Amino acid sequence: MLDPHSERACRITNAYKTGIELRDTLQDGVCLRAAVSAVTISTDELEDGYPEWHPAPDSFRGMLRLFIYREITGESYRTLETLQELAEAFGLEHVPDESVLSRTWRNRFDDSVREYVTVTAHLVVKELHDYGPSISAIRPKEEVTGSKPESVEDDYQDESMGGEFSDEQIRQTTRLARDHGFDGFDSGRAQNASYEDTQFFELQTFMGMVGCGTAQGAARFQFRRGEDYGPHGDTHLRAVKQFEPTELVEGFDQATDRLLSAIADEASFRRPVTAAIDITTVPYYGDVEGMTMVSGMHGDEERAFKFATLSVVGENIPLVLAIEPVRESSGWDENPSNQVHRVVRRLVSRAKEHVPIETVLCDREFDSMQVYQTLANLNVNYLIPKRISSTEREAIQRMEADGHDVAVENASVDVEAGSHAMRFLYVPSTNGGGTAVFATNLRIRPEEAESFCRRYSQRWQIENEYKSIKRDFLAKTSSKDYRVRLFYFVFAVLLYNIWRLTDFLLKAGVDAEMDYPPVLTAGECVELVASAMIPPD
d(CA 424, CA 446) in angstroms, rounded, equals 11
User: What is the structure's pLDDT at 264?
Assistant: 66
Contact 23, 123 (CB under 8 A): yes
d(CA 532, CA 536) in angstroms, rounded, equals 9
d(CA 466, CA 386) in angstroms, rounded, equals 23
User: What is the structure's pLDDT at 350?
Assistant: 94
Q: How far is CA 445 from CA 423, 440, 448, 463, 517, in A?
A: 10, 12, 5, 30, 36
Q: 347-386: per-residue pLDDT in tens?
A: 999 999 988 999 999 999 999 999 999 999 999 999 999 9
* Coil/strand/helix, residue 324: strand
Residue 208 CB neighbours (<10 A): 27
User: What is the structure's pLDDT at 460?
Assistant: 82
d(CA 428, CA 409) in angstroms, rounded, equals 15
CATH 3.90.350.10 in the chain, residues?
Answer: 269-462
- Class of domain 269-462 (CATH, top level): alpha beta
What parts of the chain have a pLDDT lower than 70? 1-6, 51-57, 146-181, 183-184, 186-194, 209, 224-229, 264-270, 299-300, 316, 432, 507-517, 519, 523, 526-527, 530-537
The alpha carbon dihedral of 146, 151, 156, 162 has a sign of: positive
Residue 153, CA atoms < 13 Å, CB-side half-sphere? 19
Residue 393, CA atoms < 13 Å, CB-side half-sphere? 4
Secondary structure (DSSP) of 502-537: HHHHHHHTSS--S-SPPSS-HHHHHHHHHHHTSPP-
**Pairing relationship of beta strands 302-313 and 273-283 according to DSSP bridges:** antiparallel
User: In whole angstroms, how large is the CA radius of gyration of the chain?
Assistant: 26
d(CA 425, CA 385) in angstroms, rounded, equals 9
User: What is the structure's pLDDT at 220?
Assistant: 76
